[in-house]
Amino acid sequence: MIWLTWRQHRAQALATLIGLGAIGVFSLITGPRIAAAFRELHTCLVVPGQDCGLLHESFDRRFNGLQFVIPLYMVVPLLMGVFLGAPLIAREVEQGTHRLAWTQSVTRGRWALTKIGLVAAFTVAATALFAWMVTIWSAPLVAASGDRFGFGVFDLRGIVPIAYALFAVALGTALGASIRKTLPAMAATLGAFAAVRVAVELLLRPRYLPSQTISYSFLQQSPRFGLGDWVLSSRVFDPTGRFVSPDGSITVSPSALAHVCPGVTRGVAFPDKDQVGRCLGQLGVRFVDTYQPGGRYWLFQGIESAIFLSAAAGLIVLAVWLIRRRIS
């Protein structure tokens, strides 16, 4: 059945390979330039005490435009689910060819498992290649920003894209086996996949492990700066422990400031930002950051992958059950 599965889904397979090729070409063209520019920045960063701000800014400016790939890459697993998973069973039943396929010498169960298995294997291979290319290509960018957990960064690198894609294909297959019409199944897959991804990312991911907190003066940079933490929130507290601001910024009126820190506002319409900060720091205003340590990155990749992979397995079992018991 290998030839048959390939022949039936030839178009989708070729489209996937062409897409991967395009990503590959793009990565090969732009990747070395990014890496070279980063090496320049890196030689500055490793020298302690040196101010690399300007270099950093110019690096960011240069490659900010590449952010357009993020939404494109984010839909890759979704596309596989919608175009490979949803039509897999739905089109067969919609066109009546299941009555041809299931009256040859292969039982339905074996037909379904073989087809789904081959498509799943292809999905894993294709997205593994995709994830590998994106991870390597984006490594300098991630190193420069020090952030592996951010939206569009965590989801496109490592092993989670493979789990997302397998989940999407399994979801599409199960919805296709249930709805039995191709276009509605594709629409349902799109909606359901997006909903699950958003729900997991916003509600579950921050809670995979208990978060940690750290407190430091308003004057300072976080002692954990540069460790690649995923900062979930950064709040400001006044010296008595009262919560002042949810996002690390404070609004202060000049009159209140003059009362507390005389000399800062004298004769000046707009007080100097650094002076204000020093004043607040002297008062004992503090940041409290809630975070997931950077070292947990691979743990989180593993947990999220496990969630999507076990959901995929469950959906495949459901799809096979629907095929065996509910379609005629």
Partner 1 sequence: MNTLALEATSLGRRYGKTWALQDCSLSLPTARVVALVGPNGAGKTTLLHLATGLLQPTSGSIHVLGERPGADPEILGRVGFVAQEMPLYRSFTVAEMLRFGGELNPTWDRSLAVDRLESLSIPFSQKVGTLSGGQRGQVSLAIALAKRPELLLLDEPLASLDPLARRDFLAALMESVAEHRVSIVLSSHLVSDLERVCDHLVVLRNGRVAVDGDIGGLVRSHRLVSGPRHTGALAGVGEVIDRTDTDRQTVALVRTVGPILDPAWTVREVDLEEIVLGYLGGREGSNAPADPTLRAVRPAPSEVGS
- The site for partner 1 (CB under 8 A) is made up of 1, 3-4, 7-8, 95-97, 99-108, 110, 328
Minimum CB–partner distance for residue 88 and partner 1 (Å): 14
Q: Which is nearer to partner 1, 15 or 232 (CB)?
A: 15
Q: Which is nearer to partner 1, 266 or 325 (CB)?
A: 325
Q: Which is nearer to partner 1, 180 or 286 (CB)?
A: 180
Minimum CB–partner distance for residue 107 and partner 1 (Å): 6
292 touches 212 (CB < 8 A): yes
Six token digits for residue 251: 């609004």
Minimum CB–partner distance for residue 87 and partner 1 (Å): 13
The conformation of residue 181, written as its DSSP 8-state character, comes to -
Q: Which is nearer to partner 1, 116 or 133 (CB)?
A: 116
112 touches 106 (CB < 8 A): no
Q: Which is nearer to partner 1, 108 or 224 (CB)?
A: 108
Minimum CB–partner distance for residue 162 and partner 1 (Å): 29
Torsion of CA 286, 288, 294, 297, to 10 degrees: -160
**DSSP run (H or E) holding 100:** helix 98-101
The percent helix, strand, coil of the chain (3-state, each to 5) is 70, 5, 25
**DSSP run (H or E) holding 237:** strand 230-237
What is the distance between the alpha carbons of residues 313 and 170, in angstroms, rounded to a whole number?
8
Q: Which is nearer to partner 1, 115 or 286 (CB)?
A: 115
What is the distance between the alpha carbons of residues 137 and 309, in angstroms, rounded to a whole number?
25
Minimum CB–partner distance for residue 293 and partner 1 (Å): 53
Minimum CB–partner distance for residue 315 and partner 1 (Å): 24
